[in-house]
Structure 1
Amino acid sequence: MKRSSASGTTAAGGSAASAPNEGERGEQAAPQGEVADRLEAHRTELTGYCYRMLGSAFEAEDAVQETMVRAWRAHDRFEGRSSLRSWLYRIATNVCLDLLKGSQRRARPMDLSSPSSVDTPIGTGLPEATWIGPVPDERVLASAGDPAETAVARESIRLAFVSALQRLAPRQRAVLILREVLSWSAAEVAELLGSSVASVNSALQRARATLAAGGESADAPPRPLDDAQRSLLTRYVDAFERFDMDALTALLHEDSTLSMPPYELWLRGRADILKWLLGPGCGCEGSHLVPVAANGRPAFGQYRADGSPWAIQVIETEGGHVTALQSFLDTERLFPLFGLPPRYAGPPEGDRTPAAAGS
């Protein structure tokens, strides 16, 4: 089966949708073309689920493709005892659990070490499998749906939250995502996992405690992009592209962070970030920023002055300041994933504010 375009997927994708219903039974009798369409209608939400489980957009898409292949091959044996949606989630969960066997958990640089200094050597970089990677919103979030559910879904793909999920044991991770993000009942999760309701509730309690110990919560309040944040991002783009350190000083939070996977090095504090930009990061001068949508947050494709790709920037903001600059340097894979050209193609038309954070 071929992958459908992200814009053509179901409105249920990725949001905090209701648990499976029984209205989808009997699909096994449908013509093959109709079966394919019904499977593909769930691709976006399944990709969002697998991304939260695995922490990698590429692994998530591979997992969903494997899910679709297994479902296609077994569809004539699907007996309709559950909905097609819950059956697909069962397959996807098993695929993810298989992929997670024996693998190290993905993380962010700040999960692995203390902040570095400007004088710390940048090093040679760690393997891709070390890192939580960014994901385009369109691959994991519905293009339409209930605004409140969409806001919750955006919160649940924040890089910090996805990183926190990786600290959970795989089955706890699945339980928490299904219960807290997708709003499945304990009985439905127990049936999917072949477990008991008591076991599911126990796993959820342990998962919540682990997240809370790390300062994260599955029910963090959504933070929509308001006019003040849009203005902040417009000023950030202007200051970064002009490489105006005075303007950036006014925009960066005093304790803001800068990270650059695949490098383990990361910085904390406005002063160190500015020193970095004027020193080892001076190649950013003259950059062009192109808005994209990533992890439910403002984001940009960053091109150097000569038009070559440099990074996907995912930005965190709070209280009128930029609190995190998360730059992902694997442009060979990430720019095609985000639909960005291999060379800077000129300024985009219209609003320079990223679509990622929505309304």
Structure 2
Amino acid sequence: MSDSATVELDAGLEKHRTELTGYCYRMLGSAFEAEDAVQDTMVRAWRSFDKFEGRSSLRSWLYRIATNVCLDMLNAGNRRARPMDLTASTPLAQAALTPRADNVWLEPIPDGRVLPTIGDPAEAAVAKESVRLAFIAALQQLPAKQRAVLILREVLAWKASEVAELLGTTVASVNSALQRARATLAERPADDTATSDPLDDEQQKLLDRYVTAFEGYDMAALTALLHEDAIMTMPPFDLWLRGPQDITGFMSTMGAQCEGSRLLPVAVNGTPGFAQYKPDPDKGGYMPWAIQVIEISAGRVAGFHCFLDTQRWFPLFGVPLHLDA
């Protein structure tokens, strides 16, 4: 292959990276596994490009490779989850911080890694809805091939015939898989969490009040912002709390080290989020602590999910590893 052809192929593959990462993330539920899957897809495509006969588009061919990569990765049987998918909520009096392995947890991902630029506002809104944590968690309940069918048909709007060709099966089989996938998801009704598309004035004001309350560690102000059944999770710990009383009670006791934190906004899973920094007793200023995913519903905070592995998340989101005082 000539140098110019190599450059052209690299560019042709690279322009699909973001949407392929979004597809693999929906399939796998892991930001890092999704990026690994896309890299594997690119390598396989590069190595076998001489066999690409052009009967389908380059994009379709890449999706076929990415699907096979994801199905291979899912053969291990791992199904990622949120804390509330694994255990019941814990009353504050019984709260204990018990970690589980990284491969248990559904992971957050920056919007920029999975949401390509879309001119149509309606399509952009659908794309953001399809990377919300709740939707990704629901997808993990599906068998791998049903998961692929539902994403391709419902999220990416592929025709049944296109999906059948990609999977090497029949249209009838695709339609049957889609019907079963829909039935499974219907048992887990979606919430009405707002996506950042962008947020309206009232939602933005709610976020501003949340930042003020959290940074001021004002539990009364925070309580006023929370739904009565609001949820707080803290992977890698399997503990999760429901309701303002238990949430603020935890923050005032076991979580009191977060007092004095600072929040920087990040775009995560189609919803508002923050990089949380807590006071650094050794260096001064603030040290990274968690990526927060904020869920807003009906004018209040319905949930905030704090992902605590700072060595992984802060570099992924491209935010500073230390803040000056």
Q: TM-score if structure 1 supplies the norm length?
A: 0.86
Structure 1 residue 97 corresponds to structure 2 residue 71 = yes
SS of the residue corresponding to residue 48 of structure 2 reads helix
Structure 1 residue 344 corresponds to structure 2 residue 323 = yes
Identify the residue that residue 261 of structure 2 maps to in structure 1: 287
Amino acid at match of 2:287: S
Structure 1 residue 114 corresponds to structure 2 residue 114 = no
> Which has the larger helix fraction?
2
SS of the residue corresponding to residue 103 of structure 1 reads coil
SS of the residue corresponding to residue 93 of structure 2 reads coil
Identify the residue that residue 6 of structure 2 maps to in structure 1: 32
Equivalent in 172, 191, 197 of residue 146 of structure 2: 172
Equivalent in 321, 325, 338 of residue 304 of structure 2: 325
Post-superposition CA distance 1:24-83 (Å, at most 9, x none): xxx999711010000000000000000000000000000000000000011122110100
Amino acid at match of 2:221: A
Equivalent in 136, 143, 158 of residue 184 of structure 1: 158
Mapped to 2, the partners of 1:153 and 1:133 lie a distance apart of 18
Cα 1:293/1:332, change in 2 over 3 Å: same
Q: Is the 8 A contact 1:28 1:75 kept in 2?
A: no
- Cα distance, 1:320 vs structure 2: 1.1
Post-superposition CA distance 1:297-323 (Å, at most 9, x none): 000000002211110000000111100
- Cα distance, 1:138 vs structure 2: 0.2
Q: Is the 8 A contact 1:28 1:77 kept in 2?
A: no
Structure 1 residue 48 corresponds to structure 2 residue 22 = yes
Cα 1:88/1:29, change in 2 over 3 Å: farther
- Cα distance, 1:122 vs structure 2: 2.5
Cα 1:334/1:78, change in 2 over 3 Å: same
Identify the residue that residue 275 of structure 1 maps to in structure 2: 249
Alignment root-mean-square deviation, CA: 1.9
Q: Counterparts of 1:46-195 in structure 2 under 5 Å?
A: 46-195=20-169
Post-superposition CA distance 1:238-294 (Å, at most 9, x none): 110011111111111111000000011100011110101111011110000011110
Cα 1:208/1:345, change in 2 over 3 Å: farther
- Cα distance, 1:143 vs structure 2: 3.2
SS of the residue corresponding to residue 100 of structure 2 reads coil
Q: Is the 8 A contact 1:152 1:222 kept in 2?
A: no
- Cα distance, 1:216 vs structure 2: 3.2
Mapped to 2, the partners of 1:123 and 1:43 lie a distance apart of 37
User: What fraction of aligned residue pairs are identical, expressed as a percent?
Assistant: 62
SS of the residue corresponding to residue 119 of structure 1 reads helix
Identify the residue that residue 12 of structure 1 maps to in structure 2: none
Post-superposition CA distance 1:112-137 (Å, at most 9, x none): 01100113342330001000000000
Mapped to 2, the partners of 1:345 and 1:314 lie a distance apart of 24
- Cα distance, 1:142 vs structure 2: 1.6
Q: TM-score if structure 2 supplies the norm length?
A: 0.94
Structure 2, unaligned stretches of length 5 or more?
Answer: 281-285
Q: Is the 8 A contact 2:98 2:238 kept in 1?
A: no
Q: Is the 8 A contact 1:284 1:304 kept in 2?
A: yes
Structure 1, unaligned stretches of length 5 or more?
Answer: 1-26, 347-359
SS of the residue corresponding to residue 272 of structure 2 reads strand
- Cα distance, 1:223 vs structure 2: 7.2
**How many residues are matched?**
319
Runs of 4+ in 1 over 2 A off after TM superposition: 27-30, 119-124, 219-224
Identify the residue that residue 213 of structure 1 maps to in structure 2: 187
Mapped to 2, the partners of 1:171 and 1:221 lie a distance apart of 29
Amino acid at match of 2:36: D
- Cα distance, 1:203 vs structure 2: 0.2
Q: Is the 8 A contact 1:108 1:131 kept in 2?
A: yes
Q: Is the 8 A contact 1:28 1:78 kept in 2?
A: no
Mapped to 2, the partners of 1:169 and 1:335 lie a distance apart of 31
Structure 1 residue 232 corresponds to structure 2 residue 232 = no
SS of the residue corresponding to residue 241 of structure 2 reads strand
Cα 1:93/1:30, change in 2 over 3 Å: farther
Amino acid at match of 2:125: A
